[in-house]
Chain A
């Protein structure tokens, strides 16, 4: 366990996170006390069957949703007690998001979409331009700056979305099924880029996915089951193919159990 995190200080620390949906009479506990620590520079995947609570868990960690109880610290800041305004500011400045359906604004060009998170601040244009150029080069979307989302393919849109998530150099990047709407080639390209960013620039990434191939790009994969932590796998020195096979095995057990329990 210590093999990857020992050198890195913890960026995200979540303790006993619970989330209950519904009204007083009929409630469903979706998250049943989850603990998770993510070190700076990690690339963590979250897997689990539908309804296991993956997306809810990430929304809660990513400050998009509030937990019912528990504590979450990101970069030493308690995001549970934060008021809405500073929380929004925190999200805008310190976190980045990639969504399954891109969530680009139709009326803005790719470049405008990418620079959107910086539109309220007053960072010097030169610095922004530099970051922008570097990012679009890494993500291979240099030529698309003036194009509108409807002129781009799914893979291009998702890379624009990734650029937007990273333009303000967030402490942490959250990705919710980023490859869900992509064909396998575009998916591989995006994941490769994400891995590259993680490796070369030390971007901390947390990715929710149900695709074992996608999660094989991670350093670590956390499996959820019925709102609880089931197990976790570290890639270590293994090749991606080996890691992929391990993930498949865990998933088979998970799926098998789920099937048997049915």
Chain B
């Protein structure tokens, strides 16, 4: 038999086992190719206002995808080689040199990767259009777009193929070089040492794991103070390290308790679930930690992107409370604009807001731990006029409301602003603006009497605001605004509609990319867990044979294996979801709308992916066990 024939037979035999790996590769390559195509396509850029960000966003997506794929392929291959240790050893035993075996595996790898890349690109060419339509829909764009065949995208996918090929080739050579023949034959048994017994230390470490995670969670809910950044790092450290301890020690410690209590009288299901899990926890802990931490981060980001997308309107309103705004020097423009609106029979409401700028002193702006914010000049505006312009303010004389970006960590309960000896005690700090963002950042709304007295010692600047209530008419008005004023001085102010569209585009892009990347990432981790389980089934084959001879049925065994695999998939899922819950809780202030829907969607997708792989793993294990027992 020639080497090529051996390779061919091997591939066919292994194809059955690794088809999931092959499909994952194809899917990832397809996505990568489509992302690359969009990244290099000009026509999309023309349809979008923030065109430069499209290619940048997709470039970032492409990079992330490449990293996920590289890690996935390398890890999966490492598992496969471990599983095939005996086979590799056998080839050497029958006289193939190490180099020949390496060459065989490299050729096999090359075919697999090349096949996946070619099929992936072909599918990418087919599905790119559907993808683009979805993308346009998310961004609420109606432009006609024809995707063109992109040589650059193919080139970029080729680079990915070459990088994966190079890395896996190096990996293969290392695996073959590093292991001696004897080790190869033993490769299935090693690396899974049995835990050494140090009960006291174990118990302490087990408790520490829970304590660390608990502290991390607690801190995540109480980190809004002057040390926000430091707190965030601490939260990351405590949760990640705690998670590692939890998997490495706590869970095996708990299972060991159950086992110790049984004192040898282990139920059959536990003998096939708890015992092997304890046995392998050492080597699985790192994998679990990595997967749960990254999954939680991915879920949080995706949920954040969803929320950002759905709250675009409110977000934009927060920055542009008025549809159109004109400064005092643009008063003429304002008049001609309103005339134009009347002309076109567009209903609108115009109002004027007077403001004065003042140097102020601030007291009692507590950032936490009694640290106060520094005083900055602020703009004052009267309640009555703001109300007329459509901002909902209500306060008594002598009170004030702060509009701007103090940040969520600042407590204004006892805050007092002093300007010209006028004391204004704040009753609220809104995380939004009173005047469109490109005019003034912070505004303190005060009662009319206070405002009049402040007006005496400073120059008054009057703004004109124009609001259109009907959504369609507002869009029309926006077009009119730009058609008339775009060339005047070039310093006309941006409008609410501009801002809304721009936010929708970037948020849409974010949700589109993070949604797909998140799914790919979760699917990759899910299949890694699946591969790990199949490797374990392979390692436990001799046990199944023994159990069969002792008179246990396939169903007995499958129910035991099922419990083990349920635990195996459930543990990272549960801990990941818990992390995600606390992570979202801690950044809840960022979301203006309810995040229940995106959270439910993300969690369902996460759970579904895991359920899918659990069922797949259980079905295939049953098949494997049956095959081993010749039934």
Contacts and interface: CB of A to CB of B under 8 A. Distances in A.
A119 B551 contact: no
A15 interface: no
B487 interface: no
A251 interface: no
For this complex, into which size category does the number of interface residues on chain B fall? 20 to 34
Interface in A92-135: 92-93, 95, 97, 99, 103-109, 111-112, 114-120, 125, 128, 132
Given A103-B546, A106-B189, A116-B271, A88 B264 contact: no
A244 interface: no
B341 interface: no
Given A107-B279, A108-B275, A148-B194, A99 B265 contact: no
B550 A105 contact: no
B268 interface: yes
B552 interface: yes
B552 to A, nearest CB: 7
B552 A120 contact: yes
A100 B547 CA distance: 15
Q: With a 10 A CB-CB cut-off, give which of B278, B543, B550 has the most chain A CB atoms.
A: B550
A106 B542 CA distance: 10
Interface in B233-276: 263-268, 271, 275-276
Given A105-B271, A105-B543, A108-B275, A116 B551 contact: no
A88 B271 contact: no
B210 to A, nearest CB: 26
A261 interface: no
Nearest to B263: A111
B565 to A, nearest CB: 15
B264 A92 contact: no
Contacts of B267: 119-120
Nearest to A96: B550
B478 interface: no
Interface string A206-249: 00000000000000000000000000000000000000000000
A109 B264 CA distance: 8
Given A112-B275, A148-B194, A103 B264 contact: no
B194 A95 contact: no
Contacts of A109: 264
B339 to A, nearest CB: 85
B556 interface: yes
A89 interface: yes
Nearest to B553: A88
Nearest to B193: A150
10 contacts: A88-B552, A92-B551, A92-B552, A105-B275, A105-B543, A106-B543, A111-B264, A112-B264, A112-B271, A119-B265
Given A112-B264, A132-B264, A148-B194, 8 more contacts: A95-B551, A104-B546, A105-B275, A106-B189, A106-B543, A116-B550, A120-B556, A128-B265
Q: Which 6 A-B pairs have the closest CB atoms?
A: A92-B551, A91-B551, A111-B264, A119-B268, A103-B546, A107-B279
Interface of B: 189, 194, 263-268, 271, 275-276, 278-279, 542-543, 545-547, 549-553, 556
